[in-house]
Chains A and B, each alone.
Chain A
Amino acid sequence: MIHSLFLINYAGDIFLEKHWKSVISRSVCDYFFEAQEKAGEPDNVPPVIRTPHHYLINIFREKIFFVSVIQTEVPPLFVIEFLHRVAEMFQDYFGECSEAAIKDNVVIVYELLEEMLDNGFPLATESNILKELIKPPTILRSMVNTITGRGSSNLGETLPTGQLSSVPWRRVGVKYTNNEAYFDVVEEIDAILDKSGTTVFAEIQGVVDACVKLTGMPDLTLSFMNPRLLDDVSFHPCVRFKRWESEKVLSFIPPDGNFRLMSYHVNAQNLVAIPVYVKQNINFFDSGSSGRLDITVGPKQTMGKTVENVIVTIHMPKVVLSANLTATQGTYTYDPVTKILVWDIGKLTQQKLPNLKGSLSLQSGAPKPEENPSLNIDLKIQQLAISGLKVNRLDMYGEKYKPFKGVKYVTKAGKFQVRT
């Protein structure tokens, strides 16, 4: 099982280590540094690294490498999932998952890690349970601490009851004055468009995130107008899978607070609507060390909604020194160090299509770049789930009060790329 964990910052300093079994010298991280150096970009560090006596499984999150050490055969996904959980927990507890936040709360971090894993076996990884065991730092408490000059305990004194019940994700005795249940249907379009704008590949990754603040032990049922749309679904453990299989409704006793109820996947078979089109022309000339760029973005299948927050990002070839462009809408920046051109367009309107045009200057004498840079598109459409998924109704059983209910839809671009 998981033996040790090292947290390493971007500069290569090991700023935290935790061992769940015997202590492993931090020199084991040298193998990691070696791999990191070989990979160049931090994103390219292979997730599983073999060393003579151990395996290093790592993830890179928020400029921190989470490097776990294992010694025996352990499913790597198990380790990676756990590391994700650790990163999420830091985020959840400290509002951000950063080196500074971790250092600021090092004792809580240590306590959390101790609580999450016992002898390498996951113990408590549900946020609800952990928060019962170890209270997150709150502004109020730290204020009290500063005023009184003494730190009060951030540790719960009670047994984490949830861990043993048949609904381990929910505390007992939850009470609210305002009972509310909100659901966000968030869809991301992953797509590759070719030069001519034809869809090479497209799919939709969707999630239903919930914020449920309901008193007692409510039993909820959420149904969709068109559940057959979904190609693959994965659920929070609270969802009764049998009901979904037979009736395609989500029936569950919700965890308290924020959680991801389900995630789903809509495949290309259902013809994914592409909300924008991009006309682009990027040329590098054989002589004169220069190039031209001309990009126009326009709305396509938007179902009558407005496309907002449109950002075009282009990773330019190394030889591009600077860009001299004019944007008819929005602003552009070119970072000559990272070679990234960002054009922040904002809202798309039908009347006037935003255009970015101008020249690129290349390093003189360098050969014309071989590769064509791809465009990465970001966008957002409010009040629309691009797959057409719609929530039909939400019913509550088991409690008598009447909750506030709400559903929100939003569509975003995921990995949305246009080749040139």
Chain B
Amino acid sequence: MTDSKYFTTTKKGEIFELKAELNSDKKEKKKEAVKKVIASMTVGKDVSALFPDVVNCMQTDNLELKKLVYLYLMNYAKSQPDMAIMAVNTFVKDCEDPNPLIRALAVRTMGCIRVDKITEYLCEPLRKCLKDEDPYVRKTAAVCVAKLHDINAQLVEDQGFLDTLKDLISDSNPMVVANAVAALSEIAESHPNSNLLDLNPQTINKLLTALNECTEWGQIFILDCLANYTPRDDRESQSICERVTPRLSHANSAVVLSAVKVLMKFMEMLPKDLDYYGTLLKKLAPPLVTLLSAEPELQYVALRNINLIVQKRPEILKHEMKVFFVKYNDPIYVKLEKLDIMIRLASQANIAQVLAELKEYATEVDVDFVRKAVRAIGRCAIKVEQSAERCVSTLLDLIQTKVNYVVQEAIVVIKDIFRKYPNKYESVIATLCENLDSLDEPEARAAMIWIVGEYAERIDNADELLESFLEGFHDESTQVQLQLLTAIVKLFLKKPTETQELVQQVLSLATQDSDNPDLRDRGYIYWRLLSTDPVAAKEVVLAEKPLISEETDLIEPTLLDELICHIGTLASVYHKPPSAFVEGSRGVQHKRLPARTGSGESAESPDVGQSVSVSEAPPAVIPSQGDLLGDLLNLDLAPPTTNVPVVPSSMQMGAMDLLGGGLDSLMGDDSETLGGDLGGSPAMGVAVGGAPVTMPAVGGGLGDLFDLGGGVGMTSGFYSPPKTVWLPAMKAKGLEISGTFVRRGGVINVDLSLTNKAMSVMTDFAIQFNKNSFGLSPAGPLQVLTPLSPNQTVEVSLPLGTTGPVMKMEPLNNLQVAVKNNIDVFYFSCHYPISLLFVEDGKMDRQVFLATWKDIPSENEAQFQIKDCHLSSDAASNKLQGSNIFTVAKRTVEVQDMLYQSIKLTNGIWVLAELRIQTGNPSYTLSVKCRAPEVAQFVYQSYELILKN
């Protein structure tokens, strides 16, 4: 006899019939009726009208009937609260039943009835059950606290159930411990700051003991809870790891992944030279591989997590490439994930295998997968230089297949390969051009147009090709339009004679006929550039491009660390922090990896993976400045890892030789040799072709906030600008550096504010300057003695000397700095006011002044206007003296005061100046004469700064 018969009674009056049966005297009939009611309920039929009749069946000693009635109650009590109250007495009575099964059942069911009136009556029985002698009842009651909390959190707190629950963590029965942990974890999720799971070494020990003996589900709860603990030191960390490792051999994949989470997190604290660290790394690989032979759904979650793990610790799975090979009947979501991980694991050692696989995939049926496979080939080329050649030829083979979407993807990735390896593979352009007509996707069209524009000089009919695109200009997507505009301008700059008409056409299309502001703006910029200064235009448009980084779509390191703490959770599946999307977790705290506690040496000893990767990493990311930065790297710093692209500072685009050779002599100690060759070099440092080194743009507003410390008053009249942000946190894995330069008592100082905006503690700070124009170098170590905790700011003042190595910089007052901490090395550049270098003995004798003034050729004189300055000449003179600009003489002619001033720089260069101040005219005129005219511009800037502040 099966239950399907319950579904067959769908005739009218069904409810009526059931009602009669429920009220029958016969037990069996009653039970059958309740079964029918339940059956209707499960398929979503509304049988709530029978509530009183069903509740009447509750008072029975037949366990099955009782359970059935309980099932019904749980479902409908909410809609019939007044009726539900009738059941309370029976519940209370059942909680006292001698049979623990019935006690547990009663307290469990009561918790499921989400009616306030019932929960009030639940408190007393629950209290008793939490202390019941039978562990089965206790473990059921523990969960009941969580249920109650979900319904009425306040009540749970008022009744002190949370404390009782905490006590249960020390219960003698492992199942009770596990359930208490589960309940507390759930409650804690809605109470982020409650500190409910106050973990200390004693409770950890209890949990670890319970871990071995409880059910698989209990193990998951306990492991997830353990993962929130931060061990005191590496020894404790190791001992926890040792006790968790056996869980990796559990049959339940959720247990395995939770164990992996604990190990990945606590591993962070272990010194890397420890034998155990290596052992642990080895132990992690096999269970991860095994997860991949499970059902596809499990595989998917495992793959998403492995994706995080290989980014954090690539060494774990570096030999396991083959398990990620795709089978043709894998579900698409598994295929795409596997592909992603294959690229992350691709290295010189396995690239041949990987490429063969990718080529295989590129002929599969699934379009999304094929596209991703083609893209992957391009990424391999960019990642593993040795394979580039083979990748390109594979891509060409694929283009020959003429499968439309394959061709388009191939062209998109070949564009990137061109960028990565300039002047190497351009011979394939002809093949690409053959496929021009088949491109119908914007990204592919844009890529092709970029290629044509970039290599216009090698493509004979580039103008025809671009013209053909131009015909349907208005129908193209913005991406293509922008690219087309740039490409035609490039073409024009390369072959100006034949393409004038074309460029005019595109400029007018972009500026006059388009609604898109981006397009119009770009059009205008090109137009003006071309019409005012074609040479400058050439330098801007055809400037050498920075190389692209080899790794794309890496997760940002601080986020990655947070996600590692969330292995196995939804966050790890979505690769987003839980705060970003989980609704139930209001204001979750960010988790972070524990910092290694071992002192300096262990922290500095380079990571195995890192040292490997450094040798593979092409240092070419910063090629033009390689040697300069090499200098910065000279510190005994931990090498940067490959997966963090070195911030491609805009230095490399700097217009290096605008200042010509003249500067070399500027640096010379012997100022006598100045003179002769100063003539020709243009005085202005304003770069046209390349962007000058830019300070991070955060400046202004933020800087004011920091004004307090390094303020004006502190120095004897020396003006120091407010601190500005030199290194934004997002570029330095959470370290933010702002600072300013100040001259105090004849000593140059840089005042720095180091702020830790990351999630982990920062230690081991050190600083180094690159060679610079005036030989500035730190006179002592960076004094950050205590570790910098998250959200903490430390103010440091670093005295500087001027005896360091000298090299001209562009601009002159540019300073390139490397700061190291336990995380990485960061580079930034900043500008110092040249007034920093004005020395105290800079007052020249009158006679000498006069002679020198005459001696310096007049072409070395530069004139500037200082506007909106309302100081009297005396006040100005005083103010300037505070910054070591000394007034040698003052002359008054009618309403005009003329101040003759002298400045001496740290390297012995004299600067002479004449400041003309007209009474009633807020505009001052400054004439600067110096044997090294390059400094004039900066002297003027200093004047302006000092006078206006």
- B 892-930 contacts with A by CB, 8 A: none
Flag if A15 contacts B584 (CB, 8 Å).
Answer: no
A106 to B5, CA, bound (A): 10
A111 to B364, CA, bound (A): 46
Flag if A374 contacts B1 (CB, 8 Å).
Answer: no
A273 an interface residue at 8 Å Cβ cutoff? no
Q: Which stretch, B62-70, B525-533, B836-844, touches the partner chain A?
A: B62-70
B101 an interface residue at 8 Å Cβ cutoff? yes
Flag if A371 contacts B363 (CB, 8 Å).
Answer: yes
A344 to B557, CA, bound (A): 53
A174 an interface residue at 8 Å Cβ cutoff? no
Among candidates B68, B296, B300, B323, residue contacting A107 with C-beta atoms closer than 8 Å: B68
A75-B213 in contact given A18-B42, A111-B71 (Cβ < 8 Å): no
A235-B286 in contact given A21-B150, A47-B301, A371-B364 (Cβ < 8 Å): no
Among candidates A77, A118, A192, residue contacting B108 with C-beta atoms closer than 8 Å: A118
A419 an interface residue at 8 Å Cβ cutoff? yes
A47 to B294, CA, bound (A): 14
With a cutoff of 8 Å between Cβ atoms, the chain A residues found around residue B71 in the complex are 110-111, 114
Flag if B328 contacts A417 (CB, 8 Å).
Answer: yes
- A 150-181 contacts with B by CB, 8 A: 150-151, 153-155, 157-160, 163-164, 166, 168
B713-731 CB contact bits vs A (8 Å, 1 = yes)? 0000000000000000000
- B 84-109 contacts with A by CB, 8 A: 99-101, 108
B63, B99, B144, B258 interface centre (most CB from chain A within 10 Å): B63
With a cutoff of 8 Å between Cβ atoms, the chain B residues found around residue A14 in the complex are 44
Flag if B325 contacts A190 (CB, 8 Å).
Answer: no
A332 an interface residue at 8 Å Cβ cutoff? no
A121 an interface residue at 8 Å Cβ cutoff? yes
With a cutoff of 8 Å between Cβ atoms, the chain B residues found around residue A80 in the complex are 253-254, 295, 297-298, 301
Closest to B258 in A: A75
Flag if A77 contacts B257 (CB, 8 Å).
Answer: yes
Closest to A376 in B: B329
Among candidates A110, A153, A234, A414, residue contacting B38 with C-beta atoms closer than 8 Å: A110
A267 an interface residue at 8 Å Cβ cutoff? yes
- B 1-16 contacts with A by CB, 8 A: 1-4, 6-7
Chain A residue total in the interface (Cβ 8 A): 105
With a cutoff of 8 Å between Cβ atoms, the chain B residues found around residue A154 in the complex are 64
B78 an interface residue at 8 Å Cβ cutoff? yes
Among candidates A39, A73, A78, A108, residue contacting B254 with C-beta atoms closer than 8 Å: A78
B307-329 CB contact bits vs A (8 Å, 1 = yes)? 00000000000000011010111
Flag if B578 contacts A150 (CB, 8 Å).
Answer: no
B1, B108, B173, B364 interface centre (most CB from chain A within 10 Å): B1
A48 an interface residue at 8 Å Cβ cutoff? yes
Flag if B75 contacts A164 (CB, 8 Å).
Answer: no
A15, A155, A166, A232 interface centre (most CB from chain B within 10 Å): A232
Among candidates B62, B179, B295, B302, residue contacting A59 with C-beta atoms closer than 8 Å: B295
Flag if B100 contacts A159 (CB, 8 Å).
Answer: yes
A405 an interface residue at 8 Å Cβ cutoff? no
Flag if A200 contacts B249 (CB, 8 Å).
Answer: no
Flag if B3 contacts A105 (CB, 8 Å).
Answer: yes
Closest to A156 in B: B63
With a cutoff of 8 Å between Cβ atoms, the chain B residues found around residue A203 in the complex are 293, 323
Flag if A153 contacts B62 (CB, 8 Å).
Answer: yes
Flag if B258 contacts A118 (CB, 8 Å).
Answer: no
With a cutoff of 8 Å between Cβ atoms, the chain B residues found around residue A142 in the complex are 1-2
B43 an interface residue at 8 Å Cβ cutoff? yes
Flag if B286 contacts A265 (CB, 8 Å).
Answer: yes
Closest to A419 in B: B360
Flag if A231 contacts B224 (CB, 8 Å).
Answer: no
With a cutoff of 8 Å between Cβ atoms, the chain A residues found around residue B425 in the complex are none
Among candidates B333, B570, B578, residue contacting A46 with C-beta atoms closer than 8 Å: B333
B71, B99, B401, B581 interface centre (most CB from chain A within 10 Å): B71
User: Measured between C-beta atoms, what is the minimum distance from A370 to chain B in Å?
Assistant: 5
Closest to B150 in A: A21
With a cutoff of 8 Å between Cβ atoms, the chain A residues found around residue B134 in the complex are 164
With a cutoff of 8 Å between Cβ atoms, the chain A residues found around residue B583 in the complex are 53, 71-72
- A 340-362 contacts with B by CB, 8 A: none
User: Measured between C-beta atoms, what is the minimum distance from B322 to chain A in Å?
Assistant: 4
With a cutoff of 8 Å between Cβ atoms, the chain B residues found around residue A26 in the complex are 44
B796 an interface residue at 8 Å Cβ cutoff? no
Among candidates A53, A155, A244, A265, residue contacting B63 with C-beta atoms closer than 8 Å: A155
Flag if B293 contacts A190 (CB, 8 Å).
Answer: yes
* Dominant secondary structure of chain A at its interface with chain B: mixed
A80 to B257, CA, bound (A): 13
B579-619 CB contact bits vs A (8 Å, 1 = yes)? 00111110000000000000000000000000000000000
Flag if B2 contacts A104 (CB, 8 Å).
Answer: yes
B455 an interface residue at 8 Å Cβ cutoff? no
Among candidates B75, B250, B256, residue contacting A23 with C-beta atoms closer than 8 Å: B75
With a cutoff of 8 Å between Cβ atoms, the chain B residues found around residue A31 in the complex are none
A290 an interface residue at 8 Å Cβ cutoff? no
- B 328-379 contacts with A by CB, 8 A: 328-329, 331-333, 356-357, 360, 363-365
A23 to B46, CA, bound (A): 13
Closest to A142 in B: B1
A306 to B494, CA, bound (A): 73
Among candidates A106, A260, A417, residue contacting B3 with C-beta atoms closer than 8 Å: A106
Given contacts A111-B67, A419-B328, 12 further A-B contacts (CB under 8 A): A1-B182, A17-B42, A46-B333, A77-B254, A103-B7, A109-B42, A119-B143, A137-B2, A155-B67, A164-B134, A164-B135, A265-B289
Q: Identify the B interface with A (CB < 8 A).
A: 1-4, 6-7, 28, 31-32, 35, 38-39, 42-44, 62-64, 67-68, 71, 75, 78, 99-101, 108, 111-112, 114, 134-136, 140, 143-144, 146-147, 150, 173, 175, 179, 182-183, 186, 189, 213, 215-217, 220, 224, 246, 249-254, 256-258, 286-287, 289-290, 293, 295-298, 300-302, 322-323, 325, 327-329, 331-333, 356-357, 360, 363-365, 401, 403, 568-571, 573-574, 578, 581-585
Q: Identify the A interface with B (CB < 8 A).
A: 1, 14-23, 26, 39, 41, 43-44, 46-48, 50, 53, 55, 58-59, 71-78, 80-82, 84, 100, 103-111, 114, 118-119, 121-122, 125-126, 137, 142, 145-146, 150-151, 153-155, 157-160, 163-164, 166, 168, 190, 192, 194, 200-201, 203, 205, 231-237, 241-242, 244-245, 260, 262-263, 265, 267-268, 315, 317, 370-372, 374, 376, 414-415, 417, 419
10 A-B pairs closest in CB distance: A232-B286, A72-B584, A155-B64, A104-B2, A77-B254, A47-B297, A122-B217, A78-B254, A374-B328, A241-B246
